[in-house]
Chains A and B, each alone.
Chain A
Amino acid sequence: MALKVNDNGIDRNMTDEEQALFVESKNNYKVEKQSEAQVVADRQALKEATLAKLGLTADEVAALLS
């Protein structure tokens, strides 16, 4: 099924060329999102490991920094 594009207020189906470019963009975007999610997950893991080393809870650290 053709994807829909809105050109300045007018709906139409994407051309094959547009659809191919769009799919390529989607695939690149998926890779970027996964990479961003990994950065967040790594940061969270580091945070938890650091808290464990310190023997403090996140609330206790927040109280120290407030």
Chain B
Amino acid sequence: MALPVTFVAGDVLEAAQLNSNFTYLDGKNAGLVCVKAETAFTGSTTVNVDSVFSATYTNYLVMATFTGTTGDDLSLRLRVGGVDNSTASSYVRQGTQTNGSTLSGFRANSAQTKFGSFNTSGTSFAMFQFCNPFSATTTNIYGNFAEPGSVSTIDSQYTLHNVASSFDGFSLLCLATGNVTGSYTVYGYSKTV
């Protein structure tokens, strides 16, 4: 029987067909599966997100909005077992940034990568994809963030984290000054149909 069974007006619905359709739908995976429900943080200098990466998914999407007490950057580190990885120069970050109409490129090796920047006048937005964070290999992190303002900053960047270890989460840190308020959600990309 081809699934899903399509009924038309006047068909007699058989229990087996109906059950087959239910089974068909029940077995479908959504493309994106929420693995960490939207979570708020208020006045935080550090936001720890643990146990979100696992063997269930290979790739993940993190979306966040945030604002702060002052203009600042929000840094990101991978972590495992509640401990950040801050190996010197292990986060190799490269990308482009537009600030108003000025375009510039950057490349830096650091003990963290950049997740976003923020100010007091608007809500910043970041969306980052993590490829293979749970696997004991290097992790690719690619994404964008936008900091709104009279002149907005838009950043597109790629980070290679060159430590070949398994990570189950990440942290966001206000390493310059101030603190941050916002929320984040973590999704896993389904890898089966």
Contact = CB atoms under 8 A, between A and B. Distances in A.
A36 B108 contact: yes
Contacts of A29: 75, 111-112, 175-176
B59 interface: no
Contacts of A32: 108, 110-111
Contacts of A30: 175-176
A22 B111 contact: no
A18 B108 CA distance: 26
Instruction: Give the interface centre of B46, B111, B112 by most chain A CB atoms within 10 Å.
Output: B46
A28 B47 contact: no
Interface string B102-128: 001010101110000000000000000
Q: How large is the interface on A (under 10, 10 to 19, 20 to 34, 35 or more residues)?
A: 20 to 34
A4 B173 contact: no
Contacts of A26: 175-176
A6 B175 contact: no
A16 interface: no
A18 B44 CA distance: 13
B41 A6 contact: yes
Given A9-B39, A9-B41, A22-B45, 18 more contacts: A3-B45, A3-B179, A4-B46, A5-B46, A6-B41, A6-B44, A6-B48, A8-B51, A11-B41, A11-B42, A11-B43, A11-B44, A22-B46, A22-B173, A25-B173, A26-B175, A30-B175, A40-B104
Interface of B: 36, 39-51, 75, 86, 104, 106, 108, 110-112, 173, 175-176, 179
